Amino acid sequence: MTEQSFIKNDGSESLGNDQFISLLTRHQKKIYGIIHMLIPYKPYAEDVMQETALVMWRKKDDFRPGSDFGAWGARIARFQVLKYCRKQKGSRLCFTDGALDEISRCHDAVSDRIQERLHVLDTCVTKLNQDDRNLINMRYVQELKASSIAEKVNRSVDGIYKAFSRIHLTLQNCVFKTLKAEESE
């Protein structure tokens, strides 16, 4: 049993509230990405994300700890998108059921490959020197603009852009070499 989960009356394990919130926070971008891919109009996609989070909360006892929370959330999101689009029948803001199914199928086909590449990218980021990792953190985790980063590290904006260009090339080469090595194994 995990630290924040608990045993239900039937003997099965369930998520605790803190654990659910932690998992939802970790997977929210992926789940929202699926919703936004299927509902391109951002305000409506955000509404469906809110509804998806509520449904996930209500059904949290149905989730089996140790299984893939992101995949579970994605399934619920797809159903919420279908429900939303059925309400909007005839609206140009929604795809047909057939198109939604096709988009979802294509997404599933590439999703595992994308996750593999993201894992390789994470590994490559850890191989960067500390200064470069700090720049990556400021840009992509803290979401700072180049001008703010330049100010923080006392460098010119042009210098920051050149550093990112070098870092991106380093990461691209690392990812390419790692994936190529894995394919030949």
At 72-107, the pLDDT tens digits run 998 899 889 888 887 876 566 566 667 767 776 766
Q: Which helix (H) or strand (E) holds 7?
A: strand 6-7
What does the pLDDT read at residue 3? 35
State the DSSP code for 13. Answer: E
Which of 111, 86, 115, 114 has the alpha carbon at shortest distance from 100?
86
pLDDT score of 123: 94
- The mean per-residue pLDDT over the stretch 52-58 comes to 96
Q: Is the pTM of this model over 0.85?
A: no
Q: Which residues contact 44 (CB under 8 A, 6 or more apart)?
A: 84, 93
Q: Which residue has the higher pLDDT, 111 or 42?
A: 42
pLDDT in tens, 115-172: 788 889 999 999 999 999 999 999 988 889 999 999 999 999 999 999 999 999 999 9
% of residues, the chain, pLDDT over 70: 82
Query: pLDDT averaged over the chain?
Result: 84
- Render pLDDT for 15-29 as a digit per residue (tens, 0 to 9): 788 899 999 999 998
Residue 97 confidence (pLDDT): 65
Task: Note whether 47 and 92 are within 8 A (CB).
Answer: no
